[in-house]
Amino acid sequence: MAIKSHENSVGAWAFFIGVILAILIGLSTTIFSIPTVVAYSAQIYALLVILGLIIGFVNIPGRDAQTFLLAGAILVVVSKFGMDSVRGSLIGIGVGDAVSSIFAALLALFVPATIVMALKTIFSMSKV
């Protein structure tokens, strides 16, 4: 899933900012525990969802849509199952909550992008 910023800079920047923001949100709500970030977590997750919608609508050209859908579906499934299993397996180390929070933020970013891409692919296949 190579994103070519010269072809579509809005989608590439939304993807880049979204992934970095998801990682920072995951770390800042658990390990660093920044009170401001925790207080505005609903708005931050809404921003991740909006970035996910932007990624889904403008990012992927037709030939790379299936690759994005496969990678996005795998990321969503693995992140969801990883959220549950990481809490139990890394509890003694102290990073389980941080990894789980990063997975939750990535889910907030990639679920809307994957749904939009799936719908675009279905509509393009049906020639509607």
**Closest C-alpha among 79, 83, 109, 98 to residue 17:** 109
- Residue 101 maps to a domain: yes
Position 118 in a domain: yes
Q: Is residue 1 domain-resident?
A: no
99 domain-assigned = yes
Residue 34 and residue 105: Cα distance in Å, rounded?
A: 16
**In which domain, by residue range, is 42 found?**
9-123
pTM for the complete prediction? 0.78
Average pLDDT over residues 48-71: 82
Q: What's the structural domain count of the chain?
A: 1
Determine, yes or no, domain membership for 3: no
CA 76/CA 113 separation, integer angstroms: 10
More reliable by pLDDT, 76 or 63:
76
User: Distance (Å, rounded) from C-alpha 9 to C-alpha 4?
Assistant: 8
- With respect to residue 49, please indicate whether it lies within any of the assigned structural domains: yes
Whether 117 is in a domain gets the answer yes
pLDDT in tens, 92-121: 566 777 788 888 889 999 999 999 988 888
pLDDT digits (tens, 9 = 90+) for 18-44: 889 888 888 887 777 778 877 888 888
Sign, Cα dihedral of 114, 110, 63, 12? positive
4 within a domain of the structure (yes/no)? no
